[in-house]
Amino acid sequence: MRIGVVTFPGSLDDRDAARAVRECGGEAVPLWHGDADLVGVDAVILPGGFSYGDYLRCGAIARFAPVMEALVPAAQGGLPVLGICNGFQVLTESHLLPGALIRNDHRKFNCVDQRLVVENASTAWTSDFEAGQEITIVLKNGEGGYVADERTLDELEGDGRVVFRYVPDAQGRNPNGSYRHIAGITNERGNVVGLMPHPEHAVEEGYGPSLDGRGFFTSIIKQTLESAATA
């Protein structure tokens, strides 16, 4: 079970993501942005951070990195890909996922333990959760407001492709102004998942608000082992 973790210039959480993979029983394989080669990994994580300094738009320049030339067709072909925070932004800029992430509506950087509801527990990255389950993981972003046009939002909801929603506060607000409280979505096939919060910061006792992040990594490890067994 080999999970690639891409490092772009400005990636921040690639080490934490790799550590989370190892903590949950997988092998983490470093992938370099400049190499258009996925070295046969079973899944890929695009980590959080500030690739290319967030210049132009978050994720916009990373989207054209050589590694993405290999990743985009592989993801379209069914390779499981998880984009966390900046990785989610890269996935929307790559058009692997619809919509876009814009600056938080309150203009402040968030750094909070955030409650989420898992709405879709059948993706490659969420099968170890139950639909409707509430989890708490770290959210830290300045540009995490999820936006898309009404038709796209209706489609995502109609097709069950909203994977995570923020639990709104008492005023009915979510932490970054995301439309319809959307925290994470998936593609039609369910192999590509992007979310703003950080599961890799909630996998170890004593660090982070919970161990709820483990489910992301155990889900993909289990699925890959199962598909290898049936192949």
Partner 1 sequence: MGSIVVDVMLKPEILDPQGQAVGGALPRLGFSGFTDVRQGKRFVLSVDGDVTDEHLAAAREAAEKLLSNPVIEDVVSVHVLDEGSADDAGSESPESPESPEGHGAGEAEGDAQ
User: Which residues lie near partner 1 (CB under 8 A)?
Assistant: 56-57, 60, 64, 92-93, 98-100, 102-107, 145, 147-148, 177
Least separation in angstroms between CB 88 and partner 1: 14
* Alpha carbon distance 140, 11 (integer Å): 14
Q: Between residues 104 and 191, which has the closer beta carbon with respect to partner 1?
A: 104
Nearest to 126 by CA among 191, 48, 51: 191
Least separation in angstroms between CB 49 and partner 1: 19
Q: Between residues 104 and 218, which has the closer beta carbon with respect to partner 1?
A: 104
In order of 114, 165, 178, 227, the CA distances from 136 in angstroms are 5, 11, 18, 29
Q: Between residues 106 and 189, which has the closer beta carbon with respect to partner 1?
A: 106
* Alpha carbon distance 5, 27 (integer Å): 10
Residues taking part in catalysis = 85, 198, 200
**Does an H or E element contain 194, and which?**
strand 192-195
59 phi-psi bin (left φ>0, alpha ψ -120 to 50, beta other):
left
Least separation in angstroms between CB 107 and partner 1: 5
